[in-house]
Amino acid sequence: MEKIYTSLGLMSGTSMDGVDASIIKSNGEDKYEVVFEQYFNYDNEIYEKLVEIRNKINTSKDLVTYSNILKDLEKKITLFHASVCKKIIIEYPFDIDLIGFHGQTIFHNAKEKISKQLGDANLLSALLKKKVIYNFRENDILNGGQGAPLAPIFHQLIINQNQIKLPTCILNIGGIANITMIYSKNFNDLKSRDIGPGNCLLDEWIRKNSKEKFDKNGELAKAGTTDIIILNQAIDNFDSIKNKNCLSFDIKDFDLNFVRGLSLEDGLSTLTDFTANIIYQSIIDSIILDKNIELNILICGGGRKNLTLVNSIKSKLPSSIKFSLIDDYKINGDFVESQAFAYLAIRSYLKKIISFPKTTNVKKSCSGGVLIQNY
């Protein structure tokens, strides 16, 4: 009889505002069941310190310069994750086998082969008396990959289990936007890449120019007017569209300089159209288009709630592409990433493959993640 694992996935994205927690039951292969999902806000102290330190870290040398600050913040983040886990364990009758602990990404540079997440797995394991899987990206990087994206194998499972018509792409609009192309039920046929900014430029602009953290439903962008000249220049200057070999990005790969001087609303409108254009062009560059075959694109991640952004992308796509929310299939688009890391934790524990040459550019398919059992 096959073993079904109960795994808790913890994901904190580039918005840095909190932790998504999901519990799934899975064999780590071809089936899964979601039994819990909830979002937990960081307190203001952690959020503000994360924003402050991320603004200071622009190179790998900065990781050394600010190592003491990072160490202190890492402890605070780990204790926050531990408190989240304890609440879940106390309130819900789940016997957790594994915890997939992604941590808070503070720096990612594919060219330098560095991906730094804040999170002390040894401390988390000791506090919870649970097996913790962390450091999911390092083995991929050591084997020639770019360390991201890692969720594609779970995207494939979602499509297979829910019997969603192929071909289908999953477009995740988080801080960074990435796309997974699924043309068959075979994991080895997976293709994926980061395609550019998702919410990161919009969130950074609104944080710098208002007291808000994000543009709810894209309402402020909708109220603004796009500066077409600035937009076209920014699109022309965005060379990652031409750089097909770059499969992963960090938010520091993009900046706001081109919209300086615009009003809050006009800046957001211009940035939203810029982001939509980059996502649209990258989709067209990444997929196989056949006018005789309908292609499904399912959107997940926080950016799917930005209606101005989504409608802008949708308006540019050809009629042969069906653009819809992953939620339409009764899958909560807020928790796909945390579910993915719960699933990856199981696969890592079983030493199964989690990344592929066509998803991260790794030389050959490999497993990843490190098991900590500190109790």
Tell me the pLDDT tens digit for each residue of 218-250: 999 999 999 999 999 999 888 654 455 566 788
SS3 272: helix
Does an H or E element contain 215, and which?
Answer: none
Entry pTM: 0.95
Q: Where in the chain is the domain with CATH 3.30.420.40?
A: 5-142+337-372, 163-329
The fold of the 163-329 domain, in CATH, is Nucleotidyltransferase; domain 5 (3.30.420)
Q: Is the pLDDT of residue 67 over 60?
A: yes
Average pLDDT of the residues in 61-66: 96
Neighbours of 157 (CB within 10 A): 20
Tell me the pLDDT tens digit for each residue of 288-298: 766 667 899 99
Q: Is the pLDDT of residue 143 over 80?
A: yes
pLDDT the model gives residue 109: 86
Main-chain phi, psi angles of 278, to 5 degrees: -65, -45
β strands within the chain, DSSP E: 5-12, 18-26, 32-41, 98-109, 114-118, 131-134, 168-173, 176-182, 191-197, 295-300, 321-325, 370-372
In the structure, what pLDDT confidence band is assigned to residue 312 with cuts at 50, 70 and 90?
very high
Tell me the pLDDT tens digit for each residue of 147-177: 999 999 999 999 999 999 999 999 999 999 9
Task: State the CATH class of domain 5-142+337-372.
Answer: alpha beta
